[in-house]
Structures are given as C-alpha cells and as structure tokens.
C-alpha cells in the first residue's frame, strides 16, 4: 500500500478543500426576440418565443392587481 511520506499542513489541506465550494454560473443566452436572458434550449419565459416562433403565450399578470411595491406609503 502506498503511503504519503509526511502529513500535509493545515494550510495545504484547507486550500484543497476550499476549491470545491464555488458554484458554476448558470448558463444563459439572450433571446433573439426580446433580448432578455434565458437558459439555452428553453422557451423564453418573458415572451414565449422559441426557435423563431411563438410557441407559448406570454404570461400576463391579470389575477393580481398589485401596484406599488409597498413600504413607501405617504401618511397625511
Ligand atoms: Zn424572449
């Protein structure tokens, strides 16, 4: 059985372990129709286009009529 010749330092061990915590950036490409970023090979969530055609009706927020983000109410 091969054995390591000597113990690695804490610094060496920790720097090795620190390499795996980074997350990959999510792949995204610009939609040719609306120029929004969307995942590649996926119907554009904002305009519903895919491969130069409209394949999905774009979502319109009808149910909720919420205007204003809240928090900035004026008190008389
Ligand atoms: Zn789009």
pTM over 0.85: no
Residue 13 is assigned to a structural domain of this protein: no
Ligand 1 center–CA 11 separation, angstroms: 48
Q: Could you tell me the residue range of the domain that residue 46 belongs to?
A: 25-59
**Average pLDDT score over residue span 16-32:** 83
Residue 40 is assigned to a structural domain of this protein: yes
What band does 72 get if pLDDT is binned at 50, 70 and 90?
low
Neighbouring C-beta atoms of residue 44, cutoff 10 Å: 23
More confident residue, 66 or 28: 28
What band does 7 get if pLDDT is binned at 50, 70 and 90?
very high
Ligand 1 center–CA 20 separation, angstroms: 34
Q: Taking CA 68 as the corner, what is the angle to CA 62 and CA 70, rounded to the nearest 5 degrees?
A: 125
Residue 75 is assigned to a structural domain of this protein: no
CA dihedral 42, 48, 31, 22 (to 10 degrees): -40
Please give the structure tokens belonging to residue 27. Answer: 């792949």
Cα–Cα distance between 29 and 42 in angstroms, integer?
10
Ligand 1 center–CA 43 separation, angstroms: 8
**Average pLDDT score over residue span 30-56:** 88
Residue 71 is assigned to a structural domain of this protein: no
Question: Are 28 and 40 spatial neighbours (Cβ–Cβ below 8 Å)?
Answer: yes
Residue 4 is assigned to a structural domain of this protein: no
Total domains in the fold of the chain: 1
């Amino acid at each position: 059985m091969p054995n390591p010749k000597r113990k690695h330092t804490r610094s060496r061990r920790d720097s090795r372990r620190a390499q795996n915590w980074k997350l990959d950036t999510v792949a995204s490409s610009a939609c040719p129709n609306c120029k929004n970023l969307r995942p590649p090979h996926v119907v554009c969530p904002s305009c519903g286009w895919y491969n130069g055609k409209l394949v999905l009706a774009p979502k319109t927020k009808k149910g909720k009529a919420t205007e204003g983000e809240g928090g900035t109410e004026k008190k008389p």
